[in-house]
Structure 1
Amino acid sequence: MTSRTESTFPPPVMEARRWLDGVTFSDAKPLLNVSQAAPVDPPPQPLLDAMAEALKDPATHLYGPVLGLPALRTELAAQWADHYHGAVRPDQVAITSGCNQAFAAVISAICTEGDEVILPTPWYFNHKMWLDMAGVRAVPLATGGDLIPDAEAARTFITPRTRAIALVTPNNPGGVEYPADTLDAFFALARDTGIRLIVDETYRDFDSRPTPPHTLLQDAEWDNTLIQLYSFSKAYRLTGHRVGAMIAHPALLAEVEKFLDTVAICPSQLGQRAALWGLQNLRQWLAGERDEILGRRRAIEDNMPKLTAKGWRLMGVGAYFAYLEHPFAESSATLAPKLVQEAGILTLPGTMFMPADDPAGARQFRVAFANIDAAGIATLFDRLAVLDWPLAARETGQ
């Protein structure tokens, strides 16, 4: 008998960290850790001060409402409506213990064993892991060289057991920002077929576009189809406090509440107060954080010719990620531990984001640049450019 957890693979980031065991790095060639998209710096000092003040409030240490603090739900609804030029009410917002929990809660609320959810590949591995553990079949939707999924291709995978399509934009792991037309097409597909469209916008705050990335919330009945997920972790460096959000129909949130109440009872009170203070006071600071990330994105693009000349290809870049195709004969699953030992680079292979029977993952790597500045990016690309591993045989046309 296989248990729920045995039905899926080990957590990729934790597995990759084990490649560091027994390896030492010199001062001249320190480890470049580009494996995880989590800021390691603490929140800005004004937010730390606000959190310290919140600790003095006795309510911070008690259970709170399962769906989150009313003030935070109200503030997020107002800002979400303003950003997307749509209509969002507080009763359409739930606060969760991180965005991963929001996804788990949604799947528990809309699926049962044997149901199906369509995931574009390369997929976010935690989405696949939860579907495995929930007994829900993940249906892979290949995206091709540009990493942009196609709604009409997805239509061919919809069956009577399909309950949702889950998109991540800006994408993890690919970094690409889905065009508004792509999201419109998926929304129309989901609405017309009676399934849900889940849009995970964890990295929304680092989208390069000056205008709202989509207009889905301008549909008067958006909440019959659309479920949006969000995380405060990246925006305000609150990864350890686990605060996420879900924007959806109130009736669905009533089902979600059952899941949340039995898993965590309520989100972290301190984390929620920090998120609320951040929404109300850190808009300008967050704009600066976005500018920094966009600068690192430009550094990726500027340094890419070093690798292009060696046969690499940049498949996608944006938010916290660059997704690369390598030219070597061996699989990225084999090469990733070798990168630690021979180049001092910790990164994740594409095989961690692909179905086991999809050979494309063997040619790919994800680079997470949340904690590596422009100078570090140049060093990273210099180290990759000098790798002299055996190359894959080139395909020739007929």
Structure 2
Amino acid sequence: MPIPRTATTFFPPVMEARRWLDGVTFSADRPLINVSQAAPVDPPPEPLRQAIADAALNTPEAHLYGPVLGLPDLREEVARQWSDAYGGQITAANVGITSGCNQAFCAMIATLCAEGDEVILPTPWYFNHKMWLDMVGVASVPLPAGPGLLPDPDQAAALITDRTRAIALVTPNNPGGVEYPADLVRAFFDLARARGIALIVDETYRDFDARTGAPHDLFTDPDWHDTLIQLYSFSKAFRLTGHRVGAMVAAPERLAQAEKFLDTVTICPNQLGQIAALWGMRNLAQWLAGERAEILDRRAAIEDNMPRLAAKGWALKGCGAYFAYMQHPFAISSDELARKLVPEAGVLLLPGTMFTPESDPAGGRHLRVAFANVDRAGIGQLFDRLSVLDWPLAPAGTSA
């Protein structure tokens, strides 16, 4: 008897990790350091909250159904700012607003794939991408990252079959933190175009890229929309996680197909969230620049503290956006290690096994630290706790 689609994939990793806290207590002088989730816990800045409140009180249509593909003004603003940022031609007809970036990915997969098709995912992968592909009967084809956690286009080319429909990249990467070089992104674009498949580029963390200027030049191609699908989230930029507002940039014909999916699932994106995103885009550029500077300082704090762990056999494999991806030195798998860290070190983080296929031994050697809610001082405390761990080490030469 066939099993339900939800039974074909794993349980949500962040929720699973939270259950590790059940029955564990933390003292006031040694509180839990939670680096498990890449979502800001602080509320939006007060002026943005006021804009939301004003809309809730004074804009009656904010409480009604809106356009399935989002508010026209927000689509126009995304198109205008993206055209300026990337140096390309993007119109409102290329932009769809979604209930978060995860929904944008789901909608795009619905337009691309039939059951039994394939999508290439670099590993370590973003687990929600893998979960959705499982639930719609699409095979996730792992593309193991190479040095610097960068995927190789030549290796990807060897994985393409007549059932491949897309390659999905996340840059800056979750979970690895690495920023894919522009020429690497271009190489994947050229490969996808040559083989007649889509390139999905999830840029949820684009606002926290350490580089200045456009992170790639794909939108400068006048025919970018024949291959490229870009995804984005307003959650991280403006702390709107609970409002669920994301975006997808693609060919109008593809958005027309995505509209069928969106109308069936949510009918329209959250109206107050869209109003907040638009207000933020128009008014919070300077504030967002400050947020970026703070995240970059936390990234620097990770790198500054890393020599303490390196002396104990740890290795920093990637760092950027909200994430540090580390190789640990211990003789146990990362899933066991992550559970052990909760009661014994007061640290909650995610194991690499949550970002890799079960058959990939690299998952057991790595941990993800999400530092969006831990400042420089907190990062120092995190490294204090990790640096004193005195557990059996893996045999010399064990690496991945």
Partner of 1:12 in structure 2? 13
Name which of structure 1's ranges 29-38 and 141-150 shifts more when overlaid on structure 2.
141-150
Q: For the Cα contact (< 8 Å) 2:121–2:141, is it kept in 1?
A: yes
Instruction: Note the alpha carbon deviations across 1:101-156, whole angstroms, 9 max, x for none.
Output: 00000001110000000000000000000000010000000112310011111000
Looking at structure 2, the residues matched to 299 and 335 of structure 1 have their Cα atoms a distance apart, in angstroms, of 23
* Partner AA of 1:200 in structure 2: D
By how many angstroms is 1:198 displaced?
Answer: 0.1
Question: Partner of 1:122 in structure 2?
Answer: 124
Name the CA distance, whole Å, in 2 between partners of 1:262 and 1:7.
23
Q: What is the distance in 2 between the residues matched to 1:210 and 1:107?
A: 31
1:297-319 Cα shifts (integer Å, max 9, x gaps): 00000000010000000000000
Q: Is residue 90 from structure 1 mapped to residue 100 from structure 2 by the alignment? A: no
What is residue 298 of structure 1 aligned with on the other side? 300
Q: Which residue of structure 2 aligns with residue 31 of structure 1?
A: 32
2:74 maps to a residue whose letter is L
Secondary structure, aligned partner of 1:43: coil
| Equivalent AA in structure 1 for residue 266 of structure 2 | A
Q: How far off is 1:2 after superposition?
A: 1.2
For 1:162-177, list aligned pairs within 5 A.
162-177=164-179
SS in 1 for 2:201: strand
Q: Given the alignment, which residue of 105, 108, 111 partners 1:109?
A: 111
- Specify the alignment match of 2:50 in structure 1: 49
SS of residue matched to 2:167: strand
State the Cα deviation string for residues 77-108 of structure 1 (Å, max 9, x = none).
00000000111000000000000000000001
Partners of 2:296 and 2:271 lie apart in 1 by 32
Distance 1:321 1:202 in 2: 13
Report SS of the residue matched to 1:146.
helix
After TM superposition, list the pairs within 5 Å mapping 1:203-222 onto structure 2: 203-222=205-224
Q: TM-score, normalised by structure 2?
A: 0.99
> Which residue pairs with 1:188 in the alignment?
190
Partner in structure 1 of residue 286 of structure 2: 284
> Which residue among 316, 319, 322 is the counterpart of 2:318?
316
Distance in structure 2 (CA, Å) of the matches to 1:300 and 1:187: 32
Corresponding residue of 2:152: 150
Residue of structure 1 in register with 2:22 after alignment = 21
C-alpha distance in 2, partners of 1:104/1:175? 22
Query: 1:231-277 CA distances to partner (integer Å, 9 max, x unpaired)?
Result: 00000000000000000000000000000000000000000000000
Equivalent residue letter for 2:36: S
Q: Secondary structure at the match of 1:253?
A: helix
Which residue does the alignment assign to 2:397? 395
**SS at the partner of 1:20?**
coil
**Counterpart-to-counterpart distance in 2, 1:220 and 1:145:** 32
Residue 353 of structure 1, aligned match among 355, 378, 395: 355
Structure 1: how far apart are the matches of 2:238 and 2:166? 30
2:184 alignment partner, SS class: helix
Partners in 2 of 1:214 and 1:192 — Cα distance? 19
Runs of 5+ unmatched residues, structure 1 = none
Q: Percent identity?
A: 70
* C-alpha RMSD of the superposition: 0.9
Q: Distance in 2 between matches of 1:74 and 1:385?
A: 49
Q: Which amino acid aligns with 2:376?
A: A
- Cα distance in 2 for residues equivalent to 1:14 and 1:2: 23
Contact 2:146 2:152 in 1 (8 A): no
Q: CA deviation at 1:28?
A: 1.1
Structure 2: runs of 5+ lacking an equivalent = none
Q: Matches of 2:293 and 2:227 in 1, distance apart?
A: 33
Q: Which amino acid aligns with 1:152?
A: D
In structure 1, distance between residues paired with 2:96 and 2:285: 21
CA distance in 2, matches of 1:42, 1:201: 22
Aligned to 1:377: 379
* Distance in 2 between residues matched to 1:145 and 1:246, nearest whole Å: 30
The Cα offsets for residues 155-182 of structure 1, whole Å up to 9 and x where unpaired, read as 0000000000000000000000000010
Report the AA paired with residue 16 of structure 1. Answer: A
Check if 1:234 corresponds to 2:236.
yes
Segments ≥4 residues shifted beyond 4 Å:
none
Letter in 2 for 1:34: V
Partner of 1:179: 181
1:323-382 Cα deviation digits (max 9, x unpaired): 000000000010101000100000000000000000001000000000000000000011
| Cα distance in 2 between the residues matched to 1:217 and 1:365 | 34
- Counterpart Cα distance in 1 of 2:35 and 2:388: 18
Local SS of the residue matching 2:148: coil
Q: Distance in 2 between matches of 1:144 and 1:304?
A: 21
Q: 2:98, 2:104 within 8 Å by CA — same for their partners in 1?
A: yes
Residue correspondence of structure 1 range 130-145 to structure 2 within 5 A: 130-145=132-147
1:40 to 2:59 alignment: no
Is 2:202–2:231's contact at 8 Å kept on the other side of the alignment? yes
The number of residue pairs the alignment matches comes to 397
Once residues 332 and 75 of structure 1 are traced to their aligned partners in structure 2, the CA distance between those partners, rounded to angstroms, is 43
Deviation of 1:211 after TM superposition, in Å, equals 1.6
CA contact (8 A) 2:229 2:249 kept: yes
